[in-house]
Amino acid sequence: MKNFFRLLNKSFLDIAPLIAIIVLFQLFVIGEPFPNPVKLGLGVFFSVFGLFLFMRGLEAGLFPLGESMAFSFAARGNIWLLLTFAASIGYTATIAEPTLMAIAEKAEQVTKGEITAFSLRNAVAIGVAIGIAIGSLRIILGHPIHYYLITGYFLVMVITTFAPSEIIGLAYDSGGVTTSSVTVPLVTALGIGLANSIGGRNPLIDGFGLIAFASLTPMITVMGYGILVL
């Protein structure tokens, strides 16, 4: 029960600055009362309680699951099996991202079906899968992260020069939507669990950084998709 109220209070404190900014601008900058204060209050309540449920789910399920899976696969000593699991986690978590669904639907509307929501979501998810697999391999090998990221962003710059201008902004945004509510908890837990399970790895130095790969590689795959279809 104590943990329940701790998380509930934390959820309120996390969202309180956003609510305060909206209220201050509505009342003192726009200078108009809220059109429906009851609906606003109900929305705030659902936002706070929804954030609380999400945080509770992370603590109880996603973080422990990601770490335990990483420990189990690392203990087997099969690198290819581990990388396959990492790629699968990246793909399935990305496909389930609500933010990606929203961007993909808008892209299909704006391009009048030239870019389909299904194809865009898969292009992003494949990119994330590749990125998570490469990031996991980096943790296993113990290489410094900056060599991988510098090489990756160099590839982004190169492919940007060949990609159609219509796809470039969408590709860059697609890299950003991978750092959202479904992907981040699982991928972060996977990286930390993997670093903890391999001797000589520091969870702080080696465990973090997978999200950077998840944001980088989709830009390449989406621009590649754009080169093929546009």
Per-residue pLDDT of the chain (230 residues; tens, 9 = 90+): 666 677 677 777 777 888 888 888 888 877 777 778 788 788 888 877 777 777 777 666 666 766 676 677 666 677 888 888 889 988 988 888 888 888 899 999 988 888 899 999 999 999 999 999 999 999 989 899 999 999 999 999 999 999 999 899 999 988 888 777 677 877 888 888 888 888 788 888 888 999 999 999 999 999 999 999 87
> What is the amino acid identity at position 82?
L
pLDDT at 2: 66
pLDDT at 3: 67
Residues 56 and 100 in one domain: no
Whether residue 150 is contained in a domain is answered as yes
Whether residue 70 is contained in a domain is answered as no
Structure tokens at 95: 């496909």
Residue 11's Cβ-count burial label (10 Å; 0-12, 13-18, 19+) is buried
Q: What is the pTM of this model?
A: 0.78
Beta strand segments in the chain, E: none
Residues 48 and 130 in one domain: no
Residues 185 and 212 in one domain: yes
Residues 47 and 144 in one domain: no
Residues 105 and 55 in one domain: no
Whether residue 67 is contained in a domain is answered as no
Query: Percent of the chain scored above 70 by pLDDT?
Result: 90
* DSSP per-residue codes, 82-146: HHHHHHHHHHHHHHT-HHHHHHHHHHHHHTTTSS-HHHHHHHHHHHHHHHHHHHHHHHHHT--HH
Residues 137 and 34 in one domain: no
Residues 24 and 87 in one domain: no
Total domains in the fold of the chain: 2
Whether residue 72 is contained in a domain is answered as no
Whether residue 205 is contained in a domain is answered as yes
Residues 49 and 99 in one domain: no
Range of the domain at 47: 1-61
Residues 106 and 22 in one domain: no
Whether residue 66 is contained in a domain is answered as no
Residue from 31, 45, 220 nearest 130 by CA: 220
pLDDT tens, position by position, 74-93: 666 778 888 888 899 889 88
61, 87, 108 - which closes a domain: 61
Q: How far apart are CA 142 and CA 40, in angstroms?
A: 50
pLDDT at 62: 64
14, 37, 61 - which closes a domain: 61
Residues 128 and 212 in one domain: yes
Residues 54 and 82 in one domain: no
> What is the amino acid identity at position 96?
A
Classified as helix, coil or strand, 36 is coil
Whether residue 68 is contained in a domain is answered as no
Distance between alpha carbon 155 and the CA centroid of its chain, in Å? Answer: 21
pLDDT at 1: 62
Q: Which helix (H) or strand (E) holds 18?
A: helix 2-24
Residues 23 and 87 in one domain: no
61, 85, 101 - which closes a domain: 61
Whether residue 202 is contained in a domain is answered as yes
